[in-house]
Structure 1
């Protein structure tokens, strides 16, 4: 707003002043403030899930719960239009924006009525109702449908691997566990053996008290592989199922960041850079945390000893 006021007061070009005045008038309208308020509330609910989904340690079940909570909050926002309007009015009062006309109404179009028509079209003459129906509802519904469509496959993956999740192991009965084990073996017959059913029952009976305190599959794998390493050879199929679950990516955000980083490195020096060097620079840039911990002096000494052309006596 300060930049627009400066242009309006100091610019010598009438076109710039007119454009700045029109933009300022639009920014000071209640409909614009309301639109910003709606977007802030929607993005605020989604931001928590978005940040968490980009972490390396997140698993499918946690990601699914976060997305479910975000979807629920956005869905509830659909029926809170009046509350959003009240919040936008508070913002207008705080910024000194006068709400003389809350919404700028449009002239109603007159449609020709034929002689055999018995009813008339019901058009939204109230600008506030028109904003709610034409802008607010489509915005919220689009976000809800996109979240549901893009992550609906995650539910199927979770159902397929729920047999190794500690919450299911601690609460299910022996009959339910046997049924799920049979389904898991039939679905992943190339990865696990029919002994998986007996192994998962043994794990549940041996560590049922500890499984009640676990929240992630990673804790189950740690229990069998590290804390009780002697039992790793006893439950190989259970560990295989845990590893299969943990290696399923939640999102492709890391791959997308890799391409973004590669684009930053690929600058005007690309013409004099070989493909191998570009790949190595991208790897160093992506894994910069590990690269900073490397002892370069030792690597240089090893490289010098390997590439030395003089014989050492």
Structure 2
């Protein structure tokens, strides 16, 4: 659907040149970013090893108990040395977490759990490598321990913690059932800016954290000035392909992985889409219409919705907006609004019985156009998931009308829970009597 030349986007643009492509915000953004980083071979191997470690350490209740016992001893040791302090809610014994494709933020949580329980994990792996009954289990534990003690793994572990931690807030926010345009734009822009800042200024801090972690856990840190061959033939075969170790980690891992993240974010949130959403933010009624900019709103109409307003309406629009802004700041129902959705709802509530609002026609039309942008995030995706629950194998022949009614009740549970059985019975009783055949 993203295809500009042969995909669905191209078909829309052919029939309607004023259509705008905005990627579905909630379509598994976290997994898309993880998949983008996995295009780097070493990052892909890292996530495979991360899952393998969790499976080896937490595959049985016995190993889980050993892990928690090792973590308790580690906490006692740190308390004795004064590296950590006691307090309410501190120093909790946890476990390593498995990353899941259906859980938002699970990759970030999995990385953080391994860092916090690193020493306990190493202890359990050494126990398994020594005392396991089966040779395969001993071999898996020994291989896992060697990878866990490698500098490459520790570097990628901290790198992915920085990247997934930076994007986690945006991923978590976009899974909500409703997301305001203003917040969506701010989160996207801040995430892009922070990722770019990490690329430009984050190397020294990241490497210092990695070195500190390695020194704490007795992991050998290579000399950054030593040569590192970029080929699989070794240094003696192709001397011209040799680079320093600093160049290898900084370019092959750090820059490449971050560039993949930026590329994925830019493809999902293009400049045109961000410009459209940014201009739409001028309609926000938050803080007494502080951001309600009439010039920006007129630019939005001229640039993105020229076919929806006539030339005379474009001339009248700024004057109508001035009247609305004056009335909104004086009205008790309009001045305390905070989102574009609330503003649109207030204008809809003011529509008389004939279906045509007496005033603010142009603003109402523009708000309806802006509200069609897919910033409702996970609502649509959850609606499709509800179809699998409602239309099961036992009910695979239900009609479209019955399916739509059932999904409406299921999706809008907050509303349906407020409806009592007595009110439903009363509604049926109030219906006209039907002819009954005897």
TM-score class, shorter-chain normalisation, is: 0.7 to 0.9
- 2:242 is aligned, of 123, 134, 142, to 123
Residues 39 and 184 (structure 1 numbering): CA distance in 2 closer, same or farther, change over 3 Å?
closer
Residues 27 and 250 (structure 1 numbering): CA distance in 2 closer, same or farther, change over 3 Å?
same
Return 26-35 or 133-142, whichever deviates more.
26-35
Inter-partner Cα distance in structure 2 for 1:298 and 1:33:
62
Return 24-33 or 51-60, whichever deviates more.
51-60
- Relative to the length of structure 2, the TM-score reads 0.54
Q: Which runs of 5+ in 2 are unaligned?
A: 1-120
- 1:289 is aligned, of 411, 414, 433, to 414
Residues 163 and 181 (structure 1 numbering): CA distance in 2 closer, same or farther, change over 3 Å?
farther
Which residues of 2 match residues 230-269 of structure 1 at below 5 A?
233-250=358-375, 252-263=377-388
Other structure's SS at 1:233 match: coil
Residues 75 and 233 (structure 1 numbering): CA distance in 2 closer, same or farther, change over 3 Å?
same
For residue 136 of structure 2, what is the aligned residue in structure 1?
15
Return 99-108 or 209-218, whichever deviates more.
209-218
1:84 aligns with 2:206: yes
Return 180-189 or 136-145, whichever deviates more.
180-189
Inter-partner Cα distance in structure 1 for 2:405 and 2:217:
55
Return 68-77 or 232-241, whichever deviates more.
232-241
Aligned residues: 293
**Larger of the two Rg values belongs to structure:** 1
For residue 108 of structure 1, what is the aligned residue in structure 2?
235
Q: Which runs of 5+ in 1 are unaligned?
A: 112-119
Other structure's SS at 2:242 match: coil
Higher helix proportion = 1
Higher relative contact order (Cα pairs below 8 Å, separated by 6+ residues)? 2
Inter-partner Cα distance in structure 2 for 1:123 and 1:200:
65
Other structure's SS at 1:124 match: strand
For residue 69 of structure 1, what is the aligned residue in structure 2?
190
Inter-partner Cα distance in structure 1 for 2:393 and 2:299:
57
For residue 60 of structure 1, what is the aligned residue in structure 2?
181
RMSD of aligned Cα (Å) = 4.3
1:97 aligns with 2:210: no
- Relative to the length of structure 1, the TM-score reads 0.72
CA contact (8 A) 1:64 1:154 kept: no
Inter-partner Cα distance in structure 1 for 2:344 and 2:406:
34
Residues 180 and 300 (structure 1 numbering): CA distance in 2 closer, same or farther, change over 3 Å?
closer
Which residues of 2 match residues 86-235 of structure 1 at below 5 A?
86-92=208-214, 97-102=217-222, 107-108=234-235, 110-111=237-238, 121=240, 123-126=242-245, 128-152=246-270, 153-158=272-277, 161=280, 164-165=283-284, 166=289, 169-170=292-293, 172=295, 186-189=306-309, 193-194=313-314, 195-204=316-325, 206=327, 216-218=339-341, 220-221=343-344, 233-235=358-360
Return 19-28 or 203-212, whichever deviates more.
203-212
